[in-house]
Amino acid sequence: MNLQTLLDATRQESEARKAKDSIKSLKARIRDLPPARGFIRQIASRPFSLIAEIKLKSPSMGHMSIMESQDVARVHKLYDRHAVVSAISVLTQNAHFGGSPSALRQVHRETRKPVLRKDFIMDEYEVHYSRAIEADAMLLMASVVTDKARFQALHDLAVELGMDVLCEVHDEREMELLPPGVKLCGINSRNFQSGARFSFSKITRLLGRDITTDLGVFELAARLPEGCVKVAESGINAGNIGEVLKRHAFNAALVGTSLLKGGEKHTIEELDRFAAAIASAGRQSP
C-alpha cells in the first residue's frame, strides 16, 4: 500500500461528507462552538509532552486490529487520567485506520485535554470540517499538500478558525513548504511515499512491531526554527524514547500503536513506562 491508496480512500470519505453537509452548515456550527483548547499551549507548558493516539488499525501493521477488545471511550479516559499525556490524537479516516469523526467529537466532549484531528486533510472543506467536529488542532502533511502557497493557505485558514496546526514533514524537500515562523511541526519517521515500506506489513505483523520507520530522519528537528514546538512522530515507544530525547530536542512525541496493541492493562503499563523513561531523561516529572 502507498500514499496514493490512502488518499483515494480519504477523498471518497470526504466527498460523501460534502454530499450531506455543506460548507455553509459547517461554518454555522463553528460559530456556535466555544473556543478551541490550546493544543500548542498545553504541549509547551511542559519540558516534554506525550500526545497519545486513538486508532483501531494501521496499514503499517498489516491492518491488524490494534486496540483488540478496547473501545474508544475506555482508552480516552485512560489518556485523560494519566499525567504523562498532554493531548490526544484521533485518527478519523475509516477505510484504513478504522476511525470516524464521531469518535473525535466523543473524545473531545468526554476529556479535558486538547484533541488533534489526524487525517489526510487536502482542502478548505476538511479544514472547516475539522473545527466543526470540535478538533482543537489538525494535521497538515507536506507529503499530501505539496504546493507551498496552498499549504500556507490551509494552515492560515485553520488558525483563523481557532485551531492549532501540526505541520508534518518527512524529508528536507518537504521542509521547504513550511510556513514562515511555523509554531508546531512534526517530523514523521515513516515514509508514506514508499510502497516498498508497506510491503513489510506481513513481517511487521509476525514480529508484532512496526518496522516501517527510520528514526534517522529525526535529525531534521535541528533545522526547525527556534521557538517551534517539535514533535517526534512514528516509531516511538517507551523503550526508545529516552534515547530519542538524548539525541534530539523534541518537545513532544505522538504515540499510538505501542500504547494500544496489548489491551487496557498494557496501555496503563506503557504509559507508566513512558513517564519513567521521560523523567529519567530529565525532561519531565509527571
Read off the pLDDT of residues 21-47 as tens digits, 9 standing for 90 and up: 999 999 999 999 999 999 999 999 999
The pTM of this model reads 0.91
pLDDT at 179: 95
Higher pLDDT, 30 or 258: 30
User: Of the given ranges (23-37, 45-59, 104-118, 229-243), which has the lowest mean pLDDT?
Assistant: 45-59
Higher pLDDT, 56 or 169: 169
For residue 114, pLDDT beyond 90? yes
pLDDT at 201: 45
The pLDDT > 90 percentage for the chain reads 71
User: Of the given ranges (19-33, 76-90, 193-207), which has the lowest mean pLDDT?
Assistant: 193-207
pLDDT band at 204 (very low <50, low <70, confident <90, very high): very low
User: Of the given ranges (64-73, 191-200, 237-246), which has the lowest mean pLDDT?
Assistant: 191-200
Listing DSSP states for the chain in one string gives --HHHHHHHHHHHHHHHHHHS-HHHHHHHHHTSPPPP-HHHHHHTSSSEEEEEE-SB-GGGTT-BSSTT--HHHHHHHHHH-TTEEEEEEE---TTT---HHHHHHHHHH-SS-EEEES---SHHHHHHHHHTT-SEEEEETTT---HHHHHHHHHHHHHTT-EEEEEESSHHHHTTSPTT-SEEEEE-B-TT-HHHHTTHHHHHHHTS--SB-GGGGGGGGGSPTT-EEEEESS--TTTHHHHHHHS--SEEEE-HHHHTT-HHHHHHHHHHHHHHHHHTTS---
